[in-house]
Amino acid sequence: MAESSTGDATAANAADTLRLELEKTLTEFLEDGRVSKDRSDTDGSFNALKSIDESIGILNRLREVESKKPESEISSSSPAPIPKVPDEFRCSLSTNIMSEPVVIASGQTFEKRYIKEWLISKQTCPKTFQVLSHRLWAPNDLIDDLIKQWCQVNNFDRPKPFTDDTDSLLNRISSPSSVEDQISAAKELRLQSKLFGSVRAFFAAGDTIAQLLSPISDSDVAVDSNPKLQKNIITTLLNISKLEQNKTLLAENPLVITLLTKSLKQGEVKTRRNAAQALLSLSSVDSNKIVICNGETLKTLMDVIKDGEFSVSRLAVSVVSHLCRLPENKGKAVSAGLIPLLTDKIRAGGSSTLELGVLALMSTHEGVIEEMEGLGFIDHVLSILRESRGLETLDNASAIVSCLLTKKTGDRNRGDRSRERNRVRVVDEEEKLYGTFTRLAEEGTDVAVERAKEILHRIKRRY
């Protein structure tokens, strides 16, 4: 029994040693023995072949050691650990083990499907970023053989060469044979839509968007009932929204904005973040700004600004900023309570540049300055101008003060100018006590300098 245990341990140690030796040889080969761009480099070719021979020899010895494992170990009830795929066998574009490895002019190896798409529009190596002398590629039979043997030794199920087009992936998502296959297809489509313009363009026609969203668009099923599927589909929406011709098409689809809105608050943090980024992308088109503001999205964005995870909250502020560039949306945002929400966020501390930028944008809208005054926020704006050194922050704060002094109040026919005089008095006191606007006129950006000079001029002229 003792001899058997010793033999088992020796075999296990031998297998571990061979795996480490294989990893070292592969790394040396892929770093130093790549296919030379100079075909006359016989030394490089010889070293590459030598490394390949060594790797194959190690694999053969490893297979022999694995075959001698005791039957009891092979039939153990505990599941075998999933072997870690060597980084050298993964495509850096797909991040998966390669099924059709090909080598390009830089000597780097990639999955055929992914590098072909890459080379359609680019002439750089995605790994080294060097400019390629040509866009040709060739099968890397040496790496392919190494991957085959590694998979055999480790009982690893190597993916078959890529055959699915976008239509096939959509069919697997909308009419899946299993949940696992559905998630796998959604993940593949997410990755392809990020990398390939042709895949993003595919969604510009037909009912492809509805087909993509069908698994999570059923009103009777929670959007986040399958978090992995939700994440992949929402991220695919984000990817295809980056194509200009898709933006209006997506926003006009009644499912898209609804699902993005729900995903702002449901699902993994990455899903919520990508939903916000997709809304930000879509809101770059003016007609989409109206569509997005017509439903529950504005209220949900404000809820996320108030209570959402930090990165999602910041993106939600950016979306609202985009939406409020249309005058008709400013009124909706004010009615929904945007001003007190942002002033509270700024007073609470932390980064306030984005929120202050939205308030500066909103300050020209009817009633916003008065609302800020009612909230006691003007004093806080003056303290920001006094204490901050951030140029963008100073720009935004000075815009609010400038609007404060130029905004007319009340029924001027009745001579009610007391509020205007009080505004000038408050700003004048700030200048007398701290020299805030004199300093800004000397140290701010060009825009802030002009505003500061105008503010100083108004103080002297009107008070």
The DSSP-derived string for 321-335 is HHHTTSHHHHHHHHH
Q: Which fold has domain 2-153?
A: Herpes Virus-1 (3.30.40)
pLDDT in tens, 325-335: 999 999 999 99
Residue 414 sits at the vertex; the CA angle it makes with 413 and 419, to the nearest 5 degrees, is 105
Same fold flag, 2-153 and 166-336: no
Q: What confidence tier does 95 reach under pLDDT thresholds 50, 70, 90?
A: confident
Q: Quick check: 117 pLDDT over 60?
A: yes
Across the chain, mean pLDDT equals 85
pLDDT in tens, 248-266: 999 999 899 999 999 999 8
Two structure tokens written together for 283: 């809101």
Q: Which of 9-13, 14-18, 285-289, 444-448 has the lowest mean pLDDT?
A: 9-13
Q: What confidence tier does 415 reach under pLDDT thresholds 50, 70, 90?
A: very low
Q: In the block, which residue shows the tokens 């729900």?
A: 262
pLDDT in tens, 162-200: 666 889 999 999 999 999 999 999 999 998 899 888 899
Q: What confidence tier does 89 reach under pLDDT thresholds 50, 70, 90?
A: very high
| The pLDDT value given to residue 406 | 87
- Mean pLDDT (whole number) for 316-333: 96
Q: Quick check: 109 pLDDT over 80?
A: yes
Q: Which residue has the higher pLDDT, 354 or 14?
A: 354
Residue 69 · residue 11 · CB < 8 Å: yes
User: Which own/partner pairs from 256-260 qualify as long-range (CB within 8 Å, at least 24 positions apart)?
Assistant: 256/209, 256/213, 256/282, 257/282, 257/291, 257/292, 257/295, 257/297, 258/295, 259/213, 259/216, 259/217, 259/223, 259/234, 260/234, 260/297
| The pLDDT value given to residue 34 | 47
pLDDT in tens, 48-67: 556 666 666 666 666 666 55
- Mean pLDDT (whole number) for 358-362: 97
Q: Which fold has domain 166-336?
A: Leucine-rich Repeat Variant (1.25.10)
- Mean pLDDT (whole number) for 24-39: 51
Q: Which residue has the higher pLDDT, 160 or 410?
A: 160
Two structure tokens written together for 177: 């044979």
Q: Quick check: 338 pLDDT over 90?
A: yes
pLDDT in tens, 37-46: 443 444 555 5
| The pLDDT value given to residue 330 | 96
- Mean pLDDT (whole number) for 315-323: 97
| The pLDDT value given to residue 39 | 38
Q: What confidence tier does 225 reach under pLDDT thresholds 50, 70, 90?
A: confident
* Gyration radius from the chain CA atoms: 31
| The pLDDT value given to residue 128 | 93
| The pLDDT value given to residue 160 | 77
Distance (Å, whole) CA 92 – CA 89 = 9
Q: Which of 120-124, 270-274, 342-346 has the lowest mean pLDDT?
A: 120-124
Distance (Å, whole) CA 167 – CA 40 = 45
Helix (H, G, I), strand (E, B) or coil at 101: strand
Q: Rounded to two decimals, what is the model's pTM?
A: 0.74
Two structure tokens written together for 266: 């449901």
What does the domain layout of the chain look like in residue ranges?
2-153, 166-336
Q: Which of 45-54, 433-442, 449-458 has the lowest mean pLDDT?
A: 45-54
Residue 451 · residue 402 · CB < 8 Å: yes
- Mean pLDDT (whole number) for 279-298: 94
Q: Quick check: 449 pLDDT over 50?
A: yes
Residue 192 · residue 185 · CB < 8 Å: no
Q: Quick check: 221 pLDDT over 70?
A: no
| The pLDDT value given to residue 146 | 92
